[in-house]
Structure 1
């Protein structure tokens, strides 16, 4: 019958584009259409007649009666949520007749849902399965718990929500539906936590444990149905295993941050820290195995640790928000302890994130040029016997760019640590973070220098390598005085060992000498190319306009013995000879014809400037 999916999908679809008022109107229309299909709707201007409650026989004849009952309960719930949303911003809160109206609507919806459970229990007539009955029972428990929550009946409220949680947990083990998980995380678990707080249940108990203890074990039929789906769900030994955490029974009770030990009072944080320890142990074992060779596979092994660490961060933030909503001041010891815990778990998340980037960079944090991951999976034996393949410079530059992106991400993560509460006042930690940043700055500068070297820009490569060497020298001077707290076989994180800085220092020292040699060779080659033999050069007296960058050549001041060289001379002889030599045809060209003189009139003489004037 899929009761839960019918209700949740209708809520999500309506609330995605509207509010509870829109949802209430949609339910009213759906309910009227459903009554029309069943021929029980009151006609227009007709007299209302009570059709009576729905029976198991009605449900066996037509399944529409099931949706009629669900729509009735859901409309009452939406009506109550509509009033609650409208009056949530009141200065005095929801009081008086408004609260009474909300409680009455929720109670009406709970009665309709409980009546549906009663009808479905007659399995011989309705043909309902145990799953259908459990879904209807969980839905009725949620609405009844909401009514008791508004009425501030905390123990019955806790019992109702615990029933819904146990049922949905049992159904999720067999049906593998994400809808149940969403209901648990969004609606049921926060209500259980708040009701447990009102009934003075300590926070050290996890929500699965609280739900198991508040579950009505006296209902033998319900216990039997749950036992068929999840036999170990209600046992005493699985108080923490219900949450799906590995190693949760040995959850830590304290957390240490910078030599300060803080007691963990929230069970969700303790379970998250226990899952981090279990995931770290699995990561160490996986990295030590011979199957993991490629950096991408090694980085993928960090996913479980990162997820568990993020869960611890979320649980700590949720615990702080709950205390703030309860009106607890910042000076309270619980808030102070949670702030320290928050800094510790956030530092742990960032540390594992940096460790994942270091693994992706390759061997020795990507300090070696050929330490990037390969595209094919090879065993260690094949990798050692395989001949190295020569790659084009463009391929190497692309890999260096990927490393620079990882180093930038690591440097941003280090800067984000400084923004955590309490870090700015810890001088030793700030010095350690600065030294760590210098180490990764050196790696970044080395990668950029190598890209310049591959493009034949030796001077740029030398400057960047020198900068990387200076940064690494400062980082090595700091880490050489500190002792590492983790063994060499442990997974990489933010902690930099002295062996890492020493390896990079020695590598940069050799790279610096190599770059200097390349620059010197390029300079000598350039001089050889630009040099010209003395015989081809002009004497110094003819090159006074040039600056002697290589010094003055005093051995070639002038050309001796002098040579006769042609010089440009204007032919004045021909200009003078033109006036005295009578060339053939000169008279004809200059003498006018007689007839032309007689026929043509004389031209008037021009006066003034440019022919104008009197």
Structure 2
């Protein structure tokens, strides 16, 4: 018997081999894992902002990274395992990310573990860098910091390799830029300027491209700004090492004004070194025709810093917008004044230290000469410090006067902090106190004429400030409607103004601005007197008149004087509608064409009474009146 032929299953039929191959490929593609998408910059910036880096607390951020890594490893099962007598540490890899049959395959936490391990090592290195500033012997800390930064660099490269294998195009670019930035920071701390610059340029190129094509434009732009600052410093060091021209103090101060954690400590040391180089040319100081040499290096460096602060103040007063800090002119000028006051105080302290040191030495002619020069220098710096405080207060007064109600538009008053005469009076009191403090500065090195000119200048300034203080006190009383007291105070202000003008004539070297202010004060006093008289005359009227005039035009209220300074309304436009009587034009025209019916029978009047005037008119004319045809019916129609 013949055996039955084995039948081929339908799925293994020869004719179906071509159809089985595409099905297997489709199944393989379905099992393949899609490229991972992750915003690296947003992830780390949000974590840093929420965990201490707003206040440069790198230890807190490092502890956060440790806890986050532990949680993610526990969820993914990447815990250390004991194999024999050794523990094996599981690290994220492409094999684990694409492991088939695992429900955790393709999980973004594999990439996040590699990212936050890099962040933890970097945060540890930055923590050690800040600890170095608090210890004198920090050589061991520096070595530890460099090892941590080297580990962060190595982990960043591993993170980039993992992201390049499993991530999409954007993740690959961000990981490449992040790894280059970590490498640049590592080489920057090792002072390998060329390698750091190359890494920074590569990271800046990628972040600049991402800033123009991503939603995180602000974050990318901020990172690019930090990279630019570090790159400029690297270029400066390369130029300096190659024998090129070194940077000026202005360039270093511009870099120092940009907040950067890596640059601050290095720039402080470099600024001191550059100032010492420039201070070598500063050998003497002159004041009122007398010049003394500067023998102490510390005082010379402090005076060089003062000169630099003066240049920054001049630049801040000239610019309408400070390009370094991005703040408005007033804020930039106040910051420049503050920096200049700090430098003057440092110079005074350095000079006082020299005086104390020389006072303790054995008396000799040379020591006495050096001590006398140091005391002269101390008096000069104290006088300049007091003069700077006066200039600062005068600038504040001018800025406050610009915010008085009459100097601010009505549309801008809600957004502007208006000033009051009381605050201006207090500022002039502070100016008077500053002048009084300058009287204690010794002037024994000058002759009688020079010392007398200094005394006359201080007296003239004090007289002008007292006159302005009285004027603002009088204006405050006028606004408070105390017209009797205001009249007395303004009269006293006029007398003080005359005394101030007389005092300015005795000080020919006084600032022209102070002389002009003294001369202009009389016009202000006269204007305030006229305003006070008008307000006093109108104060007796009923307040209802002023309330009724509120919001109405001047043409409607010609006898009401406004007591507040504001934009006047001449007339209301468009004018309001006025009702007028409407005449019945149709009936006025139709009455001449209508004949009304005879209603004498109903009213009780005879027709003879109505026809008598017509008959009399006919007889007086000497003729017979033609009898009009009698009409019947309504309106004479029938």
Shorter-chain TM-score category?
A: 0.3 to 0.5
TM normalised by structure 2 equals 0.46
Larger RCO: Structure 1 or Structure 2 (Cα < 8 Å, ≥ 6 residues apart)? 1
